[in-house]
Amino acid sequence: MVGLKMNLPAKIEAQVRAMLPAERSPTVTHLAEEGWLAMEVILPTARERELVPQLKRAGATGIIVYPLNKVIH
């Protein structure tokens, strides 16, 4: 499992949310710059490889992928 964070224009939130697997739903935070969001999810490592290019094409920026030590359900 890895964590994935990104920034995106609010206008593509629904499109990006539909692409993301999430245990419940992604964490969404409004950025200081109006019209922009930060979104964060946890997903299987194998899924990250295919998902990042799709997210970039959709308009996500500042994509960060980071390893996780433990995921407790």
Give 26-52 pLDDT, tens digit per residue: 999 999 999 999 999 999 999 999 999
* Residue 22 clears pLDDT 70, i.e. is over it: no
pLDDT value for 63:
98
| Residue 4: Cβ within 10 Å count | 23
Residue 30, domain member (yes or no): yes
Task: Work out how many domains the chain is built from and give that number.
Answer: 1
pLDDT value for 31:
97
Q: Which domain holds residue 46?
A: 2-67
Residue 39, domain member (yes or no): yes
What tokens were used for 12? 């593509």
DSSP, collapsed to helix, strand or coil, labels residue 70 as coil
pLDDT value for 56:
97
DSSP, collapsed to helix, strand or coil, labels residue 30 as strand
Q: Kindly report the average pLDDT of the chain as a whole number.
A: 93
Residue 73, domain member (yes or no): no
User: Would the pTM of this model clear 0.85, i.e. be above it?
Assistant: yes
- The CATH number linked to 14 is 3.30.70.120
Residue 47, domain member (yes or no): yes
